[in-house]
Structures are given as structure tokens and as C-alpha cells.
Amino acid sequence: MTLPNLSPSRKLAAGVVLVALALGAGWFALRRQDKESAEIRVPELSPVAQSGRLAFDRSCSACHGVHAAGSEKGPALVHRVYQPGLHADSAFELAVRRGVRAHHWSFGDMPPQPEVTATEVASITRYVRELQKANGIE
């Protein structure tokens, strides 16, 4: 899109306004995620994902909600922000081992979860990925 008849400073100002609007819309969508728990469709799970569901329920659901739908304490993982193209499976392992500074949400930082084993993280990741796929997030 070109902006004819505008000085360079007005074009810059228009660009800044457009970027601010885009950021504001993204922020609003994520804030809605903070407050709403999505309806999650649960598919027939693979054996690994079934194990992950048990580990998730034990170690993650208190904050991330039932079926990773989010809660007032933590964001939904069945959300486009956490799709595989944006957050690789290794991001789940790093989050559990190191914790995560709040960046996509306003719930505060996620502390490390040292009691969750590497095998459990792998099965939890599989569970979340199967939930994402069943809900159109790939």
C-alpha cells in the first residue's frame, strides 16, 4: 500500500499508528485468553499422549487448566500462540527445566518444575500436540 501525497514524516507517523493498532489487537486477543477458558475437543489419544494426560493432570493442570484450556492462573496451551511452528517441542522441555518469564500472558512467570521428568515432559508435549491438532492448531 502506498501513501501518496504524504510527507515522509506523515508516512512514518501513519506506519507507527498501524503498528500500534496491530500490536493492540494482538494484546487484546491474548488478554482475552487470560480471562477465558476455551472449549477443547479431546480426540482419541495415542498411548504416549494418554500417559501425558495423566502427567499433565498431576503437574500442569492446576495452572494451565483442564485439557490445557487455560485458567485464571496460566495460559491455554491449546492456543495458536503455542503451535509447533512458533514453539517447538523443545520449548516445553526448556519451560519445565528453566521456567518461563511472562511474555505471552499476564499471569506472572512460570517457575521451573524440577519434579517433572524428561519422559513426562515428552509425553505431556505429545498430549498437548494431539489436543492442538484436534482443535485445528498445527
Give the count of domains, the chain: 1
**Residue 116 pLDDT:** 98
CATH of residue 104: 1.10.760.10
**Residue 62 pLDDT:** 97
In a domain, 71, yes or no: yes
What is the block-wise mean pLDDT of the chain (138 residues), using blocks of 10 residues?
A: 63 52 45 55 98 98 97 95 94 96 90 98 98 96
**Residue 50 pLDDT:** 98
In a domain, 127, yes or no: yes
- pTM, two decimal places: 0.72
In a domain, 2, yes or no: no
In a domain, 40, yes or no: no
In a domain, 34, yes or no: no
Chain centre distance of CA 66 = 14
Name the residue range of residue 67's domain.
47-134
In a domain, 79, yes or no: yes
**Residue 103 pLDDT:** 85
